[in-house]
Structure 1
Amino acid sequence: MGKGKLILICQSGGKFLTDDDGTMTYTGGEAEAIDINQETSFLDFKLKLAKLWNLDYDSLSLKYFLPGNRRTLITMRQEKDMKRMYDFHLSSVSAEVFVTGQEGFHSQALVSPAANWSDNIAVTHVAYGNVANVPIQVATETPEDNSLVDVGLRSRKVAPRFTSESGGLVEIPVTVSTGPVLPAKSTSKKPIRKGKTSLTSSNSKLTPKSSKQLGMGSKSSSPTSSPASVSKRRRVMEEPSVLLEDGNVGDTRRRSLRNRGEIRKPLVETDEDEYLLSEEDDADDVDDDDNVDVDDDDKDYVHDIEAYYPETEDVNSEPQMSYSISGVNDGSVQSLVASWKRCITGVGQGFESVVEFRDALQKYAVACRFGYRLRKNESNRACGVCLVGGCPWKIYASWVPSDSMFRIKKFNRRHTCGGESWKSAHPKKNWVVSVIKERLQENPNQKTKNIADSIFQDFGIELSYCTIRRGIDEAKGGLHTSFKEAYKHLPLFVNKVVETNPGSIVDLVVGEDKRFQRLFLSFRSCIHGFQTGCRPLLFLDAIPFKSRYHEILLTASALDGDDGVLPVALALVDVETDETWRWFLEQVKVAVPSLRPLTFVSDREKGLVSSVLEIFENAHHGYSIHYLMEDFMRSLKGPFLGDGKPSLSYYLLAAARADRLDGFKVYTEQMKRVSPKAYDWVMEIEAKQWANALFEGEPYSHITSDVGEIYAKWIEEIQESSIVLKLVAFMNRVVELVNSSQERSREWFSHLVPSKEESLVEECKKASTLKVFFCSDTLFEVHDGSVQLVDISNQTCSCFGWKPTGLPCQHAIAVLNTKGRNIYEYCSSFFTVESYRSTYSEALGPVAIDLALVENEGSSKEEEEQVLPPLFSRVQGVDKRIKDRKRGRSVCCTKCGGVGHNKATCKDD
């Protein structure tokens, strides 16, 4: 599939008119232009159209015409249909989509289970009426009654109604849970400032929780106000807020329907070249006279955080909705930070060590939103001052030998900086690591950006990528094992795979220096599925494993009857070279014995033709159409004649799919008329490696998608983990894929798999209007405005839609109906439900490794089976496509005309 943009002209409200020749035209209604690409979600697209034209989501119907055919409408019902539509219009700039449905959009569609929303998306919608400053009551619909929303630890999704005093109902999606009755909250909407070095942006769904967002209303926008330091105050309702479930973290977080409160960006600048800015030592000694003894009940304390965190609440005031974070039993960030503000109580407070004092001071500073530095930071004494010069805030603590305690000697609570110190505050290393560790305990596979967003959201502290990245490394070292040490547990991983999936082939290769080199894995279930239910096609690909040691994942994948990816063999190698590819192919030959001639498909740039043909007897090798199209479009340079540049991709695909050599020549000649350079580029590639007319292996030219894309997405989700945890998570994705396909096929009762059955039905509808003329017993002419030749003995059609795909095209179906033949007998047996079930007849067992067990077993065999990480080295032989992008233009000398230097460095005298 191409990576370009397709403009959809979406029309609704009109009607179709049929001309005498059967073509249809659409008149009346309204039209909107919407851009899509290959990443566009069908469900998001459908919902957008439903909202755009106020149509019922469930009744919405989307149809389109194929290029060059305005007689038959094609229906889009699911994600695959939209992908096919995108492929059909690959060479087009725009396409028409016709939208129909019942009038009336309902907001319940936003939380409908049928919508299958992504875990990373939380969508809310509310139709606001004249309900400003009107008390609103949240009610749930249950079989018994309509009671107020209960909020507790166990959450569930309902579609409540907000009832205003005026009697109007406003429906919004909401997550509620059992517990005390809580009314909805609201604040006003303000913009968020975007920083240069921040991982958070204005487009991020995560915003720092201001005092108003956390339900702690502030009467002013003082810089000292924070989500961690503002009291819970009553305020007037402006707009409803709800509880939404954050699918990324797995906990329930409070979100408003709009960005609320005056949200200020905390200016926490961090040098990305440093780890975490350490505490600054000042050579100036501390003068005890500069420190003011302040008792805990000093009335001159102007920064009294008790005003922000009252110990008790008015039971008549509005209770606050809370969200949970790790380490807090009651699931409340307010409770967590409320405990931090008591970390420093006053003069005389004791600590076990200076380390404990520093940790307490850091939490206290975060709770009160101010920045400080330690002028003295020694093992027996520490003195902290406000970052803003002239501010009298100071704290001095030292070791008391008689008490064996580290005690606060002097403490001036008073701030006069007005919160300016918070703008340049830097969190200390230990505090950042502890916060990151808590988030990793919830989800070890969290991405760096997600962690940065959650810290910014919970505490209002903005950290750079470098800071979070190194904090993750140290936190993971404390949680289980470091990235480097994780390699020693690879033998245990191998044993676990064989134990949970007997018959699977796993081979770990370690060098003489005990450094990791290669790991091969092939599940027995996948091998059996490929041999019994899949076409003899294997797609070879290499995907970066996104590890700090730059390993590469080599894959050999088959396609099931529903065109789903089946991982037949996988290998993790330290570097991608011709040698490692040859080793991988040799392992595939041993693991996947096959009596059928196999067809291998790979990127032309890999240069695997010779290795494949040497290792596998009677095998065939073809170039991936997906990568061939990418290289072709990247190489195109003007001028372009005739139909222009967009037509070249169509001609290339048509040439690849042509059944006969004359058809191949026709399309390449048409390409030559548009761009001779493009024609020359195509002719330099061996046509027998990609053109269907000359290719002797299993047809595959109709497959234009990136087969290895699914692996790249899996790796993206787990890239933050160490090697063993990453392998476990990746293999469990394979297990989930196989087992879910097995369960899904049990619900099918058609002859072909649903996608193929649907395609066949659509072709049958088109065939009903075609005219068939006999040329011989096996050769026929079919007229549909143009003339197509159908040969039922060889199962070919001049439209290229039968043999390559394995399904009869509309012209073949018209002939078979005329002859009274059974259409299913002319469909590929690989597309039957029976073959699909055979592919996934054997289930896979999940690979589970307990972290504590990994450490125990790994350490016991450390000397015997120790595995070290590979030596870091960039992959030799960088992809040519990458080099072309970096090459840029050559420097030309204006003096001698030479290339590679200018006139200043010219040596021509």
Structure 2
Amino acid sequence: MMARGKILAICQSGGDFVTNSDGSMSYSGGEAHAIDIDHEVTLQDLKSEISVMFNYNANSFSIKYCLPNNKQTLITVSNDKDLKRMVDFHADSEMTVVYVLKKVENRTTRSVVADSGTPTDTMTATVATYEDAKRRKLYANWDGMITGVGQKFDSSRAFRDALHKYAIVNSFMYRFIKNDRCHVTAECTAEDCPWRVHASRLSGKQELMIKKMNGTHTCGKEMSKKCYRLASQRWVASIIKDKLRYTPNYKPRDVADDLQREYGLSLNYAQAWRGKFLARKELYNSHEEACNQLPWFCNRIIETNPGSVATLQTSDDSKFRLFVAFHASLSGFEHGCRPLIFLDVISLKANKQWKLLAATTVDGENDIFPVAFSAVEMESSENWHWFLEQLKSALTMPHNLTFISNGQDGLEEIPRVFEDSNHGYSVHHLIANFKTQLEDSWTQEIKDAMVDHLNRAVYACKADEFNECIEGIKAESKELAEWVLDTKPERWSDAFFKGLRYGCYSSRTVETFNGWVSERNELSLVQMVDMIRCKLMEMVYTRRQTSNTWAEQLTPSINQKVQDEMIKARNLKVICSMGNVFEVHDDSINVVNIENWECTCRRWQVTGLPCMHALAVFQHIDRCMYDYCSKYFTTECYCLTYSLSINPIPDVGRPSCTDPSHCTFACPRTRRLAGRPKEKPADPRIAIKRAVRCSRCKEFGHNKQTCKAPA
């Protein structure tokens, strides 16, 4: 319970009210945000914060709530007194729910007349046609799919999908002038309508960006039967696939009704049936593949790569999860890499039915090195727990590891599985979240300065250095400094983090895996996993060949980094204190203990490489600096990382498993429905037809009615 005069409000918007059988109301759908409200908050302040939360105009919505013991009546907050009353009414509650409702501009006054014909009450009623009601949710969902020049998309497919939805919600047809992986140009099909959009790929990236757009329509954009052609069977399948997964008896009529209610599209029964058929086919193909191919594929991985782990787990509700860790990856991690693991979830562009949970590390050159990965249907605490358990059983080394993640859902499972581990936060995601907190009114120079303060706070090795960076942020915004402190600096700042990151703070796992897996076609899970295996095999071989030419004790990039620090160390003054302890003078005095590999600047302990103060000592006493570098940066360890190869699986390309002995479990049997199957031939154009033969002249190609032979 919060302090008196202050409540925790859950702000909900974008959903629908449902009246229950007892007359009470419940709210479903939409999105929700939490906010603290007290007596000092004015209605204008509250509206301003809600505007930012939901990206609404401050004058376009109203705020309503229910009393603690009354779920049948909505109370409107129209002024500051109403807001204070709401706080008082819910002072003894743990939280209250606030509904943010969009206003409808077109309103009129209607009189309610009693049986006698006399007006008994006057109320404000919304005048909205049935078509308007159907379209409102559609506009809320998809009207912002295309915003204008500068908008970016992950791929050309993502842009086309957004354009498709945007055209549906704005009721116009379009045609492609240019349509390939690098350039997409479309225009309105209406005659003389100037609407046009052009997007092209950014240099060196997969992303597409809108470069030109004329967003003006002169065609009226009236919804017609032509516009319903945008609701293709593949689009319908993509919309209903998730619901069909959990509701197998989802009928075509229900599909049509849902699309009518939610998206304002009138589909006939045949269109809904074809969309359901395609969605069902895609779902069942995935299930059939898991039944037939994956058990065989797991066995082939273990046979061709002894020591590897390939585990397939199934459940009674036909869900699957696959864990793969090749022996070469496990051995390379345990013998040559830092005890550091990055955890990421990857939504692959080549197969949207599955997500990859990946565990990666970095080699001596700070390049990504995959350790294990798992294919699951969704990211959840349960799936992360299962993945971490499989990883723990696959590793033979002690489990005092350091994990780095972006703090996604489910990763609270790390300390439950790896008890002695440390969990850090990905700096890349921290900075990305930090940038969203910067005020739009600030100049770019101020924003860059704020990001620079945060970067220095990340790499600060001592508490006073960290506090100096926070003060720099606080000088511009006290609220922003408090936000930074609320993100738990002990999980990301070198000044407080207990684990060892060896100077590595983020990974490029998502970009690497998506770069490995082609998106030209929708890949099956077996194809996707084998493509990753091929890329791993190629990566191991290439890096092994490259390292054979190295002559230095440290890897090239690390050796260059130490040499750069050596140049800085030449001007430092070294004073021998006692034994292995030295004083080094620059702008301040630092104490170096070469026996314990420690310096009071703490950079040696944090990175695993001697700092410039330690290097100055080595020069002073003529010691070899390579003897004081972490072994994980040596060429020897790098070669151990890539000493083993990932072997080919020669027969993985076959279409399916035909030998039941390959399967470790039986596919669930489904009962055949009564009656004749209604599926049409795959391609009616090649259906075999019986030749027509005349009964009079016995010739082919005509019948007796059209026969021209003499009687």
TM-score, length of structure 2 as denominator length: 0.52
Alignment partners' CA distance in 1, 2:664 and 2:505: 49
Matched, 1:771 2:575: no
User: Does 1:274 find its partner at 2:274?
Assistant: no
The equivalent position to 2:297 in structure 1, one of 478, 490, 493, is 493
Partners of 1:272 and 1:496 in 2: how far apart?
44
Post-superposition offset of 1:199: 8.0
Q: 1:573 and 1:494, CA in 2 relative to 1: closer, same or farther beyond 3 A?
A: same
Q: AA paired with 2:295?
A: P
Q: Label 1:539 to 1:204 Cα distance change in 2 as closer, same or farther (>3 A).
A: closer
**Number of aligned pairs?**
413
Contact kept in structure 1, 2:406 and 2:425, CA below 8 Å: yes
Contact 2:349/2:514, CA 8 A, preserved across alignment: no
- The Cα shift of 1:696 comes to 1.6
Aligned partners of 1:200 and 1:827: how far apart in 2?
A: 56
The superposition leaves residues 654-702 of structure 1 with CA deviations (integer Å, 9 ceiling, x where unpaired) of 2222222222222222221132122101111222222222222113554
**2:579 matches 1:813:** no
Q: Is the 8 A contact 1:753 1:833 kept in 2?
A: yes
Superposed, 1:177-192 pairs within 5 Å as none
Tell me the distance in 1 between the aligned counterparts of 2:576 and 2:664.
78
How has the CA–CA distance of structure 1 residues 638 and 693 changed in structure 2, closer, same or farther, with 3 Å as cutoff?
Answer: same
CA change 1:498–1:813 in 2 (3 A) is same
| Alpha-carbon distance between aligned partners in 1 of 2:643 and 2:438, rounded to the nearest angstrom | 46
| Contact 1:500-1:847 at 8 Å conserved across structures | yes
Structure 2 vs 1, CA of residues 714 and 203 (structure 1 numbering), >3 Å: closer, same or farther? Answer: closer
The alpha-carbon distance between structure 1 residues 694 and 272, as it changes in their structure 2 partners (threshold 3 A), is: same
- Match 2:547 to one of 730, 745, 749: 745
Q: Which residue of 2 aligns with 1:217?
A: none
- Pairing 1:866–2:670 present: no
- Where does residue 516 of structure 1 map in the other structure? 319
Match of 1:602 among 382, 405, 408: 405
How far apart are the structure 2 equivalents of 1:505 and 1:198?
47
Alpha-carbon distance in structure 2 between the residues aligned to 1:541 and 1:723: 19
Q: 1:555 maps to what in 2?
A: 358
Cα distance in 1 for residues equivalent to 2:569 and 2:514: 40
1:831 counterpart residue number: 633
Distance 1:555 1:744 in 2: 26
Deviation by residue 1:760-795 (Cα, 9 ceiling, x = unmatched): 223333433x13142734343343xx4463524454
Task: Evaluate the alpha carbon distance shift between residue 485 and residue 198 of structure 1 in structure 2; reply closer, same or farther with a 3 A threshold.
Answer: farther
Worse-superposed segment, 651-660 or 799-808? 799-808
Residue of structure 2 in register with 1:322 after alignment: none
User: 2:342 touches 2:360 (CA, 8 Å); kept in 1?
Assistant: yes
Cα distance between partner residues in 2 of 1:804 and 1:863: 47
Aligned counterpart for 2:499 among listed residues 697, 703, 710 = 697
CA distance in 2, matches of 1:197, 1:727: 36
Amino acid at match of 1:579: E
Cα 1:574/1:656, change in 2 over 3 Å: same
Partners of 2:490 and 2:230 in 1: how far apart? Answer: 52
Residue 306 of structure 2 is matched in structure 1 by: 502
Match of 1:535 in 2: 338
CA distance in 2, matches of 1:795, 1:642: 42
C-alpha displacement at 1:745, in angstroms?
1.9
> Within 2, Cα distance between the matches of 1:829 and 1:803?
14
Give the letter aligned to residue 866 of structure 1.
C
SS at match of 2:605: coil
State the SS of the aligned residue for 2:583. Answer: strand
Give the superposition deviation at 1:621: 1.1
By how many angstroms is 1:735 displaced? 2.1
Q: Once the two structures are superposed, what CA deviation does each residue of 1:366-397 show, in whole Å capped at 9, x if it has no partner?
A: xxxxxxxxxxxxxxxxxxxxxxxxxxxxxxxx
CA distance in 2, matches of 1:511, 1:608: 22
1:758 and 2:560 correspond: yes
Q: For residues 443 and 602 of structure 2, what CA distance do their matches in structure 1 show?
A: 26
After TM superposition, the score normalised by the length of structure 1 is 0.41
Identity of aligned residues (%): 32
- Is this contact kept in 2: 1:702–1:804, CA < 8 A? no
In 2, Cα distance between equivalents of 1:724 and 1:705:
26
Matches within 5 A, 1:231-310: 271-274=229-232
Moved over 6 A (4+): 860-863
What letter corresponds to residue 572 of structure 2 in structure 1?
K
1:847 aligned counterpart, secondary structure: coil
Q: Is the 8 A contact 1:505 1:524 kept in 2?
A: yes
Cα deviation, 1:535-590, whole Å, max 9, x if unaligned, reads: 11111111113466632110111111111222112111111111111111111111
1:615 aligns to what? 417
Instruction: Give the whole-Å Cα distance in 1 for the aligned partners of 2:435 and 2:541.
Output: 38
- Cα distance in 2 for partners of 1:576, 1:588 equals 16
Residue type matched to 1:816 in 2?
Answer: F
Report what 1:849 is aligned to.
Answer: 651
The equivalent residue for 1:636 is 438
Looking at structure 2, the residues matched to 686 and 676 of structure 1 have their Cα atoms a distance apart, in angstroms, of: 17
Shift of 1:485: 3.9
Counterpart for residue 588 of structure 1:
391
- The question of whether the paired residues in 1 share the 8 Å contact of 2:295 and 2:662 is answered with no
Partners of 1:546 and 1:719 within 8 A in 2: no
Tell me if structure 2 keeps the 8 A contact 1:545–1:719: no
CA distance in 2, matches of 1:659, 1:735: 38
Over 3 Å counting, the alpha-carbon distance change for 1:855 and 1:580 in structure 2 is: closer
Residues 710 and 556 (structure 1), Cα distance of their counterparts in 2 relative to 1, 3 Å cut: same
Other structure's SS at 1:604 match: coil
Which of 456, 463, 478 lines up with 1:676 in the alignment?
A: 478
Q: What stretches of structure 1 of length at least 5 have no aligned partner?
A: 1-194, 208-268, 277-469, 870-909
Q: How do 1:56-205 and structure 2 match up within 5 A?
A: 197-198=175-176, 200=178, 204=182
Q: 1:149 matched to which residue of 2?
A: none
* Paired residue secondary structure (2:643): coil
User: Quick one: distance in 1 between partners of 2:529 and 2:375?
Assistant: 9
Q: Which aligned pairs between 1:775-794 and structure 2 lie closer than 5 A?
A: 776-777=577-578, 778-783=581-586, 786-787=587-588, 789=590, 791-793=592-594
Residue 612 and residue 818 in structure 1: after superposition, are their counterparts in 2 closer, same or farther (change >3 A)?
same
Per-residue CA shift, 1:691-722, capped at 9, x if unaligned?
22222211355434434431232235476212
SS at 2:369 equivalent = strand
Give the CA deviation at 1:629.
Answer: 1.4
> Unpaired runs of 5+ in structure 2?
1-172, 186-226, 235-273, 671-711
Structure 2: distance between partners of 1:868 and 1:645: 60
Contact 1:604 1:628 in 2 (8 A): no
The answer on whether the counterparts of 2:458 and 2:494 sit within 8 Å (CA) in structure 1 is: yes
CA gap of 1:484–1:590, structure 2 versus 1, over 3 A, is closer
Alpha-carbon distance in structure 2 between the residues aligned to 1:772 and 1:707? 43
Distance in structure 2 (CA, Å) of the matches to 1:586 and 1:543: 19
Q: d(CA) in 1 for partners of 2:561 and 2:290?
A: 48
Q: Give the aligned residue type for 1:198.
A: F
